[in-house]
């Protein structure tokens, strides 16, 4: 799979090949391509288009990560240096654009109008989610309902697309594809909630980024949203003032402790577990198989992962 990804990014421009090799060598989980292939296998025999779909999904995902790191001034990605920490901002932004363009040209090779529709819609939703999060984080007034809309767009949309693309490259069964779409959406919501939890719980060497990064970037996520509901207005605004760009270490530690003390972590973990149950229920239309078992186990992994 990594070789397919690398081959699709090859260019006559030397720096592009160097950056592509940098990404292939990183410790990424390749979670999304695996989802494409498992979802396809759940529906029948994989095709050449299944592997192309898996590679283009990884390209689309990596393009967004590169742009996110530039926006967040991130220095670490997957336990290694981010592209912007090596090449500053201009080259990473343009590399992200290049990878996005290559994902779209690869999509055109799938010879499926439905696949192109899914990818176009997904790309728009992801951008919409990131912009909404940025705007809401600046105002510091995000509600739980708004949070779920944001993560549905910025994260769940792509994971749902993985499952749909795996299905449509193998079958035309509408019921199965709809089930995979629902499964992916729920899995994506739980995945992002867990990601937000790991910002407080994860170890940097394992998770691949510093603890409290979201707080330092001024992001308001579910654990904090819930914790803020438990206190009066004056306490709420004292905490919110500490969630800002370049927050100092003391403020970050203080906000993390506030989240734990006011049930934000426990509430968010329970919410993720409930959503994963819904995701598993969506797979009931499929007969038992080693591939269905793998997807169910992957759902459990999302809840229990430490990176």
Q: Residue 245 pairs with which residues in a beta bridge?
A: 217
- Predicted TM-score of the model (pTM): 0.87
Tokens 């009066």 belong to 232
- Nearest Cα to Cα of residue 39 among 171, 192, 156, 158: 171
Q: Residue 177 pairs with which residues in a beta bridge?
A: none
Query: What is the per-residue pLDDT across 244-267, written as a single tens digit (0 to 9) for each?
Result: 767 788 999 999 999 999 999 999
- For the chain, state the CA radius of gyration: 19
Residues 125, 136: Cα–Cα separation, whole Å? 16
Number of residues in the chain = 307
Residues 65, 260: Cα–Cα separation, whole Å? 28
Query: What is the per-residue pLDDT across 222-240, written as a single tens digit (0 to 9) for each?
Result: 999 999 999 999 999 899 9
Domain boundaries, the chain: 2-299
CATH superfamily of 2-299: Farnesyl Diphosphate Synthase (1.10.600.10)
Query: What is the per-residue pLDDT across 48-77, written as a single tens digit (0 to 9) for each?
Result: 899 889 988 988 888 888 887 777 777 766
CA distances for 172 relative to 94, 107, 180, 188, 288, angstroms: 37, 18, 12, 23, 20
What integer best gives the mean pLDDT of the chain?
Answer: 87
């Amino acid at each position: 799979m990594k070789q397919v990804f690398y081959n699709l990014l090859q260019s006559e421009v030397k720096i592009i090949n160097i950056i592509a090799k940098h990404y292939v060598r990183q410790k990424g989980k390749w979670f999304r391509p695996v989802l494409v292939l498992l979802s396809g296998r759940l529906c029948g025999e994989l095709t050449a288009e299944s592997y192309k779909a898996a590679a283009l999904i990884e390209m689309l995902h990596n393009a967004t990560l590169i742009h996110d790191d530039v926006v967040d001034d991130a220095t670490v990605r997957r336990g290694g240096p981010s592209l912007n920490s090596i090449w500053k901002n201009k080259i990473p932004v343009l590399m992200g654009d290049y990878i996005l363009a290559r994902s779209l040209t690869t999509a055109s090779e799938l010879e499926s109008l439905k696949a192109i529709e899914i990818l176009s819609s997904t790309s728009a939703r992801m951008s919409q989610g990131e912009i909404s999060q940025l705007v809401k984080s600046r105002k510091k007034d995000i509600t739980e309902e708004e949070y779920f809309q944001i993560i549905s767009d910025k994260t769940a949309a792509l994971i749902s697309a993985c499952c749909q693309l795996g299905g449509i490259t193998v079958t035309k069964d509408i019921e199965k594809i709809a089930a995979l779409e629902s499964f992916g959406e729920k899995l994506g919501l739980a995945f992002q909630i867990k990601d937000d939890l790991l910002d407080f719980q994860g170890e940097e060497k394992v998770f691949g980024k510093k603890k409290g990064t979201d707080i330092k970037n001024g992001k308001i996520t579910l654990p904090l949203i819930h914790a803020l509901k438990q206190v009066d207005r004056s306490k709420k605004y004292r905490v919110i003032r500490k969630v800002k760009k370049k927050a100092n270490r003391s403020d970050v530690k203080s906000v993390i402790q506030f989240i734990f003390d006011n049930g934000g972590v426990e509430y968010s973990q329970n919410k993720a577990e409930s959503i994963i149950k819904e995701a598993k229920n969506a797979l009931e239309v499929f007969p038992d198989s080693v591939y269905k078992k793998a997807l169910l186990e992957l759902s459990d992994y999302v809840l229990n992962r430490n990176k």
